[in-house]
Amino acid sequence: MFTFGLSGGAEAFDSLVLLLIALALETYIGEARFLLKTGRHPAQVFHRLVAALDRKLNRERRGQADRALRGFLVVVFVVAACAATGWAAAWLTQNHAFGWIVELVFLVMLLAQRRVYDDARAVADALSKHGQEPARKALSRMAGRTGTQMDEHGVARATIERVAENICAGAVAPVFWYVLFGFPGILVYKAVNFMDAMIGRRTPRYRAFGMTAARLDDALTLIPACLAGLFIVLAAVIVPTARPGRAWKVMLSDAGKHTSFNAGWPAGAMAGALDLALAGPRRYAERTVKAPWIGGGSARATDRDIGRALYVYVIACLINALGVAAIASVRLGAQG
């Protein structure tokens, strides 16, 4: 790990051990969403900062080149601010007896394994007990989008896709950048990911302004997305009803068909593992999305398939944590 000269402080606390504790805590309590109500959650800080910069710098009267340059400067500013903040938190961990508590709290808030599991379980329960209308509402809370034109199979497929994508965005990618660069790494990644969600959309307002955020997010997510797909394949070996060989084949052949290339890796692996067809054309309340199918299995996904996807999800997240434990063991052994 690159620790920017922070390792070996007088009160040094091993960062990978701290990460393992954070993964365990977040799995149990979630990402501490109750802090959103007080405005102290990093998501709230990111939202307010990016929204303020958007209002100030992304004005319609400006030309596209000007807006692209201003969007680039926004990304540079936010990344620099997060790197500095992350460095300060990491310094506390290494140089103060209880400084690690600050980093641990923020690590728990920046990980997002439990939240998607709970949200997907809520969709599955709604489908099995109450029908598709409550399930559509549960999906809109989970994915931040409405699904009023989806039937029950469309709702189930969209939920499974979200589960697969979150293995990367909520678990593998944050862990990957933390292992490489410590707390500055995870904080910068989450900020870029958040900026992509806010301003990285391909709309007239954000096509130029959000271009840098979108491209940087693609770059930072590429390797973690491939790892997430691989972890799904490995998880399929353990899950009794999954098909690891099919997961590997579909991941390699269909990843590029997804509207988001990075999301295609875990989505393709999940489609193959469960022998489903994911993505494909779908109708929302405000638009119709035409996309190719990923996987050659059945498109008639159900609440039981969501449960199978969550089984794969849990095992994949566990594999991710075991990878951290293995690296920590090797490093601690070398130090000993």
Mean pLDDT in runs of 10 for the chain (336 residues)? 52 81 90 56 82 88 89 95 91 82 90 91 89 82 66 90 94 95 94 91 88 94 96 96 95 89 92 93 68 89 94 97 93 72
Cβ proximity of 229 and 269 under 8 Å: yes
Of residues 68, 61, 78, 75, the one with CA closest to residue 207: 68
> 112: part of which helix (H) or strand (E)?
none
pLDDT at 149: 72
Of residues 169, 43, 13, the one with CA closest to residue 106: 43
User: Computed from CA positions of residues 101, 102, 106, 109, in that sequence, does the dihedral angle turn out positive or negative?
Assistant: positive
How many other CB atoms are found less than 10 A from the CB of residue 286? 9
DSSP at 59 = -
State both tokens at 6.
């922070």
State both tokens at 167.
């293995």
pLDDT at 39: 52
Distances (CA, A) of 53 to 42, 84, 186, 198, 276: 16, 19, 22, 11, 42
State both tokens at 106.
């923020």
HSE, CB side, 13 Å, CA atoms: give it for residue 208. 15
pLDDT at 5: 47
Give the 3-state secondary structure of residue 336. Answer: coil
Tell me which residue has tokens 């989008």.
Answer: 145
State both tokens at 67.
């807006």
**Helix locations, the chain, DSSP H:** 15-29, 42-57, 64-95, 100-110, 114-129, 132-143, 152-166, 173-199, 211-238, 244-254, 261-274, 303-335
State both tokens at 251.
């991941």
> Whole-angstrom Cα distance, residue 243 to residue 185?
34
Per-domain boundaries in the chain: 15-335
Of residues 295, 34, 63, the one with CA closest to residue 160: 295
Radius of gyration of the chain (CA): 20
Of residues 147, 115, 121, the one with CA closest to residue 132: 147
Tell me which residue has tokens 């506390």.
Answer: 92
> 289: part of which helix (H) or strand (E)?
strand 288-289
pLDDT at 42: 79
> Whole-angstrom Cα distance, residue 311 to residue 57?
45
